Amino acid sequence: MSPLPTTVTDELWTAVLDGDDLRAGDVVLAALDDGVDAEAVLLDVIGAVQRRVGQEWAADRITVAQEHTATAINDRAVAVVGRRARVEPTGARVTVSCVDGEWHALPARLLAEVLRLRGFRVDYLGAQVPTPHLVEHLRRTAPDAVALSASIATRLPTAHAAILACRAAGVPVLAGGAAFGSDGRFARLLGAEGWAPDARTAADLLATGDLRPSGGQGQAVDDLPHLADQEYTLISRNTSRLVRTVYGGLEQRLPAMARYTDQQRRHTAEDIDHIVAFLVTALYTGDDELFPAFLAWTASILEARHVPPGVLDPALDLLGAELRDFPRASRLLAEAPRHATAPERDGQDG
């Protein structure tokens, strides 16, 4: 097999950014014709381009519309590779599925194609699969394993429900995706039978046949006893009210908000919504690092858009006041770092 010329990834990047799916198809076909391994084209070319898409968006060098376009073109490139390299399915049967609410399907799609190329019998269910659909599918097809994908940590409670359902159906779960943590700690916490940091490792693990159902009919509170304190339940059932209250409090604290454009108001409301969503997820998992990590990531996104990260600090204070009767939530909010910079948005954030 030929080594991968670095220009292939650059050529695909250009095609993808232009929204030119025919050229993208040509690039991957040319790479296959030159002897590059199909798995390498998928993971080291298309996968690399997709990672770059995410990085460029975070750095505010491409818009979210461009990100969607790029993902769609990459998806077509995956289809081109899949059609070209056909393999007889003789191996174990694997269902590849994204957790309900998870839109980032490309990593799961790449895994599905890699598994097909390695001879697995693959059922690819796609993005945001409702848990009842997944269970219905498992009952009908009784696969040897489920590869469950989630990219954003706020999907973890839903992922847990899916894992519990798979356990009850007697099918082992291999968890993957950024939501489960760079070391897979959330996969372990939520009772998945396996975890992999990337598609190659996942495929290797599935090939060993070592993944066995752990059995039992557990509930969420069996894996996460702290849920019994109801903090997660009460706060997650009141997110809208919380967001409204914090937004109103911000308007009172920051007179400059009276001059905000509609777009700035929308972004402020969305930011508060995200903060609450990640706080709720942190309460669900009982993990102390999840919330500060989210805040740090948000700060970097805001900085790339020339918005001072301190803009969120008043929201954290207001949330802390609203949730003062909830010990775990209060602690997370109190321990979140604050910034010294001015707390107002100017007209520049996009």
Partner 1 sequence: MPVTRNDLPVEGLDLTAQLAAAHAALRAERARSGLLEELSAALLGSLNVTRCAQITAELAATHLADAATVVLPASRGRHVTVSAVRGAQAVHAILTGDVDEVPGLEEALLGFPPVPSRWLDARSTPGWLLPAGMAPVGSVVVVPLPGHGTPAGALVLLRAVGSTAFDEDDERVARQFAGRAGLAVSAAQLHDRQSAITDTLMRELLPPCVGRLPGFDFAARYRASEDHERIGGDFYDVHPDEDPDGETLVVLGDVCGKGLDAAVLTGKIRNTLRALLPLAQNHLLVLSLLNTALLSTDSTRFATLALASVRRTPSGVHLRLTCGGHLPPLIVRADGTVEEAPTRGTLIGALPQVTASTAAVTLAPGDACLLYTDGITEAMGGPFGDEVFGEDRLTAVLGECGGMPAEALVERVQMLASDWIGVRDHDDMAVLAITAPRGRHLRAVGGHGRGRYTR
Cβ atoms of residues 160 and 74 within 8 Å: no
Distance, CA of 228 to CA of 226 (rounded, Å): 5
For residues 131 to 150, the per-residue mask of contacts with partner 1, x marking binding by CB under 8 A and - elsewhere, is -xx--x-xxx-x--------
First to last CA, the chain: 45
Strand order in the sheet with 145-149: 121-129, 93-99, 145-149, 173-176, 194-195
Closer CB to partner 1, 167 or 196, in the complex: 167
Distance, CA of 105 to CA of 98 (rounded, Å): 7
| Tokens encoding 138 | 């498992």
Closer CB to partner 1, 89 or 170, in the complex: 170
SS3 of residue 214 by DSSP: coil
Site for partner 1 in 279-308 (CB under 8 A): none
In Å, how far are 171, 274, 315, 323 from 243, measured between CA atoms? 39, 10, 9, 12
- The least distance separating partner 1 from the CB of residue 39, rounded to whole angstroms, comes to 22
247 binds partner 1 (CB under 8 A): yes
Closer CB to partner 1, 166 or 199, in the complex: 166
Closer CB to partner 1, 166 or 295, in the complex: 166
Closer CB to partner 1, 135 or 304, in the complex: 135
220 binds partner 1 (CB under 8 A): no
68 binds partner 1 (CB under 8 A): yes
Distance, CA of 228 to CA of 286 (rounded, Å): 12
Site for partner 1 in 13-42 (CB under 8 A): 19-22, 25
130 binds partner 1 (CB under 8 A): yes
Closest CA to 211 of 176, 185, 180: 176
- The least distance separating partner 1 from the CB of residue 119, rounded to whole angstroms, comes to 21
86 binds partner 1 (CB under 8 A): no
Among 3, 33, 64, 259, binds partner 1 (CB under 8 A): 64
- The least distance separating partner 1 from the CB of residue 6, rounded to whole angstroms, comes to 26
The amino acid that residue 147 corresponds to is A
Q: How many residues bind partner 1 (CB under 8 A)?
A: 44
Closer CB to partner 1, 230 or 240, in the complex: 240
Among 241, 306, 324, 339, binds partner 1 (CB under 8 A): 241
Q: What is the largest CA-CA distance in the chain?
A: 66
How many residues are recorded in the chain?
A: 350
Residues sharing a CB contact under 8 Å with residue 190, sequence separation 6 or more, in sequence order: 156, 159, 160, 163, 175, 223
- The least distance separating partner 1 from the CB of residue 308, rounded to whole angstroms, comes to 21
Give the footprint of partner 1 on this chain (CB under 8 A). 19-22, 25, 63-65, 68-69, 71-73, 75-76, 79, 83, 100-101, 103, 128, 130, 132-133, 136, 138-140, 142, 168-170, 215, 217, 239-241, 243-244, 247, 269-270, 272-273
